[in-house]
Amino acid sequence: MQLLHVLCIPEICALVLAFQDGVPQDMLPLKKLKVLHVRRAVSRWKDVIAPRLDEAATLLRPWLAIYGTARLPLLFHYIPRMESTVVYFSVYVHDRLLLDFLTTQYPHLVLNFSVVYLAARLGSLEILQYLHAAGLDFDLRRHTYPLERLSMSSNNLDVIRFCKDMLNGRVQA
């Protein structure tokens, strides 16, 4: 019974816990970010996706300014749900250097239709062209309606044309 009392002393607990495996201190604020499900919540842009992307930008910008891409593999190891959040963040803020790194190191995270949906909704022709040139290879027929709807909601005529041409197979990589 005395052993339990000794182990429960706050000072000793703090020392023991300081040396346990866990999320590094610099990553703790990022743990509070919620998972983004762009495809499921695409119709709820104003009340779900935009606020979460703003929150991610608020926390990720300073973290990436300090660590760059050097600690991203560690971040993805400790907080796996951050993989998609960082990809969406790179599209949201048009960070091509980060997107290049992610495409090179984690192509499966970048080359998917959730990222295309987000780029279309944001009206980012540059990102859509980048994804297509990077080798996005999906059955576009399954995505025709949502992609056309999202590109139209961006109010960017070039994005609408690009999506229409891509869906009709007229865009060459």
DSSP string, the chain: -HHHHHHT-HHHHHHHHHTS----GGGGGGGGPPPP-HHHHGGGIIIIIHHHHHHHHHHHHHHHHHHTTTTHHHHHHH-TTHHHHHHHHHHHTT-HHHHHHHHHH-HHHHSSHHHHHHHHHHT-HHHHHHHHHTT----GGGGHHHHHHHHHHTT-HHHHHHHHHHHTT----
User: Would you write out the chain's pLDDT as a tens digit for each of its 173 residues?
Assistant: 565 565 667 776 666 655 556 788 899 999 999 888 776 666 677 778 889 999 999 999 999 999 999 999 999 999 999 999 999 999 999 999 999 999 999 999 999 888 988 888 888 889 988 998 898 765 566 666 666 777 777 777 887 787 777 766 666 55
pTM for the whole structure? 0.79
